[in-house]
Amino acid sequence: MSPHIRQARPEDRAALFSICVRTAHAGADASGLYSDPDYPGLVWSVPYLEFSPEQAFVLDDGGDILGYVVGTPNTEAFERQLDAEWWPMLAEKYAGREAVATLDNNVLDRIRQPKHSNAALSQRYPAHLHINLLPPAQSGGWGRKMIETELDALRKAGAKAMHLGLSLTNDRAYGFYQHLGLSEIGRDDAIWMGITL
């Protein structure tokens, strides 16, 4: 079977954890930077599968998952749901964990003290997304197709505009998003880009 984009399913959870850590260092492999390979996926991929499944898609190559795009049409409502149902569960589960590897605290701190999007940004651009493809699936047009799939799903859910954040050093993703029509809308410890839907 050739690769195809399909709705993500609960059994894709392991792939979402694995792809996230292998692309979490400004698009490159972050495996050596986290002591637990699930850490980045706890923040940037799996909660979307759990709480926003209608906007979660994978690139499926005959059972091998090569990438995902996840998102939510309403960032503030999504964050409220995580505050109620996701972070407290993780805080209990990972209560005894201490940071060992370089980036562990990026995740452990968020679990214990959840971060929220800038209110002005999420009111003006209510939806947001994350896209991550493994190297074999990159540069072949799948990124564009997956973003288009996600933006359609966000539009169908009623979103009028979407934002996303990227690392200050992810030049490749910046060029990709710009090419697809997103504009820079802010910059602090990350670059923020947005588009009207």
Ligand X SMILES: CC(C)(COP(=O)(O)OP(=O)(O)OC[C@H]1O[C@@H](n2cnc3c(N)ncnc32)[C@H](O)[C@@H]1OP(=O)(O)O)[C@@H](O)C(=O)NCCC(=O)NCCS
Binding flag, residue 4, ligand X (CB under 6 A): no
Using CB under 6 A as the binding rule, the residues of this chain from 97 to 136 that contact ligand X are: 131-133
Binding flag, residue 48, ligand X (CB under 6 A): no
Tokens 């996303």 label which residue?
164
Binding flag, residue 142, ligand X (CB under 6 A): yes
CB of 16 to ligand X, least distance (A): 13
Q: Which is nearer to ligand X, 159 or 193 (CB)?
A: 193
Binding flag, residue 23, ligand X (CB under 6 A): yes
Strand duo 57-61 + 64-72: pairing: antiparallel
One-letter amino acid for residue 173 of the chain: A
CA 11 → CA 24, 49, 62, 86, 183, distances in Å? Answer: 21, 10, 14, 18, 35
Binds ligand X by CB under 6 A, chosen from 62, 63, 96, 141 = 141
CB of 95 to ligand X, least distance (A): 30
Q: Which is nearer to ligand X, 111 or 134 (CB)?
A: 134
Binding flag, residue 140, ligand X (CB under 6 A): yes
Binding flag, residue 179, ligand X (CB under 6 A): yes
Q: Which is nearer to ligand X, 98 or 189 (CB)?
A: 189
Binding flag, residue 173, ligand X (CB under 6 A): yes
Cβ-proximal residue to ligand X, closest one? 143
Buried-exposed string 59-92: b where 16+ CB fall within 10 A, e elsewhere: bbbeeebbbbbbbbbbbeebbebbeeebbeebee
| Closest C-alpha to 195, from 138, 142, 121, 131 | 121
Distance CA 129, CA 136 (A): 21
Distance CA 99, CA 113 (A): 15
CB of 34 to ligand X, least distance (A): 16
Binds ligand X by CB under 6 A, chosen from 32, 53, 175, 181 = 175
Distance CA 120, CA 168 (A): 21
Binding site for ligand X (CB under 6 A): 23, 27, 131-133, 138-144, 166, 170, 172-173, 175-176, 179
